[in-house]
A and B are shown apart, each in its own frame.
Chain A
Amino acid sequence: MTTLKASTGPQFARIMSVGSATPSRVVPNDYFLEFIDSSDEWITQRTGIKERRWIAEDESITTLCLAAARSAIERAGISVDQIDAVILSTISHYHQTPALAPQLATELGIPDAAAFDISAACAGFSYGLAQAESMVRSGQARHVLLIAGETISEITDVTDRGTAFLFGDGAGAAIVGPSETNGIGPVVWGSDGSQAGAIWQTVSWQDAVTGGTWPSLGMDGRAVFKWATSFIAQAAKKCLDEAGITPDELDVFIPHQANDRITDTLLRYLKLPEKVVVARTIRHLGNNSAATIPMAMDALLTSGEAKSGQTALIIGFGAGLVYAGQVITLP
């Protein structure tokens, strides 16, 4: 039998940099009171959200992703020809084919990169990170540009009292590359298709065409809240266990920003020490789906609340249902 050569790579990978982009249009809670029977106080109390950012007319999923990616590439200090793969995680590219990642790669000047989109909703960054890490460590890519971008405002039903005010637009990006020490712990991930109806696109594209109804993002808030505060809490603990660290060794916690109250519950369950810095970007950015975690990571590093080299737990969870989390070393 003919012997085939296998690709081999470095033993470890790490996140070398992170960048993000937020759209310019600030949308306060009061905006929704025209469409739903609610109040600023009710929305804040139930979700933690005070305001979110939505794309303006001259902004799009593409402009956000490019801005976040350019920032990540510059901060990593590598040239574009050292990037062998581009992964885009999004559920907001409303054009089934071709994928958006190849166009982003070309626009960024990255020559001949493997490029593809993935759909893992709010778990998208951690799903993509697991793939990027594997690609680097197996030698299939020297560096991977991982982008997570969303413009959920385009499928937000402002008259839906359960979801109208939850989502914000934005993008985050990271360069994943080789490392002498391990910077990305084992991924803890999974899915539960029996709960496909917990968060869903209300109308399929086919029905949208025949029925003339633009789809929106629907959610069974109660089911998601229950899942996030029980199952996901256990999964977050497992991320620490798999990485071989105790809560005391953690510096930063960046859970998906679905709801401040979910974050509170995760903190209680994990019994994290007071010193742990906790992401709360939902208050000003809303839930940015896949883009949430890199946007929050960048915000904490930029503000100085978190520092390069610190140990962080990230975990995303959302439509699928799907979830994924890792312990990482901050870039």
Chain B
Amino acid sequence: MATTEEIRAQLAELVNDVAGVPVEDVQLDKSFVDDLDVDSLAMVEILVGCEEKFGVAIPDEESKNLKTVGDAVAYIEAHS
């Protein structure tokens, strides 16, 4: 099972790939929208990428709650 840091690092690569955000900026306390300037379409892509990369299903109603990098990492840890 991957550690929190491993999931964060993989997620950071994904966010970098989709939205061009430097990987070192993608820290657990950062908000996707407010801190990392990820817009709604990029967020959809990131979540689709998470589903593929981590083998988790992220329903639309859940995705609205994933506001920070930490939220996403915790969701992946709980569901993968």
Task: State the majority secondary structure of interface residues on A.
Answer: helix
Determine the chain A residues whose CB is within 8 A of the CB of B17 once the complex forms.
268
Q: Which of B33-70 contact A (CB under 8 A)?
A: 39-42, 44-45, 47-48, 51-52, 60
Contact of B39 with A225 in the complex, beta carbons under 8 Å = no
Q: A-B contact count, CB below 8 Å? A: 26
CA distance A230 to B18 in the complex (A): 13
- When C-beta atoms are compared, the residue in chain A nearest to B60 turns out to be A222
What distance in Å separates the Cβ of A180 from its nearest Cβ neighbour in chain B? 42
Task: Answer whether residue A46 sits at the interface, using C-beta atoms and an 8 A cutoff.
Answer: yes
Contact of B39 with A45 in the complex, beta carbons under 8 Å = yes
Task: Answer whether residue A226 sits at the interface, using C-beta atoms and an 8 A cutoff.
Answer: yes
A residues within 8 Å of B by Cβ? 45-46, 222-223, 225-226, 229-230, 259, 261, 265, 268
Which 4 residue pairs spanning A and B have beta carbons closest together?
A230-B48, A225-B44, A226-B44, A261-B41
CA distance A265 to B14 in the complex (A): 12
What distance in Å separates the Cβ of A209 from its nearest Cβ neighbour in chain B? 34
Determine the chain B residues whose CB is within 8 A of the CB of A45 once the complex forms.
39
Contact of B48 with A46 in the complex, beta carbons under 8 Å = no
CA distance A45 to B48 in the complex (A): 20
Contact of B39 with A226 in the complex, beta carbons under 8 Å = no
Determine the chain A residues whose CB is within 8 A of the CB of B42 once the complex forms.
261
What distance in Å separates the Cβ of B31 from its nearest Cβ neighbour in chain A? 19
CA distance A223 to B18 in the complex (A): 18
CA distance A261 to B19 in the complex (A): 11
Contact of A46 with B39 in the complex, beta carbons under 8 Å = yes
CA distance A153 to B48 in the complex (A): 31
Contact of A229 with B44 in the complex, beta carbons under 8 Å = yes
What distance in Å separates the Cβ of A36 from its nearest Cβ neighbour in chain B? 16
CA distance A126 to B64 in the complex (A): 35
Determine the chain B residues whose CB is within 8 A of the CB of A261 once the complex forms.
41-42, 45
Of B18, B40, B44, B51, most A-chain CB atoms within 10 Å: B44
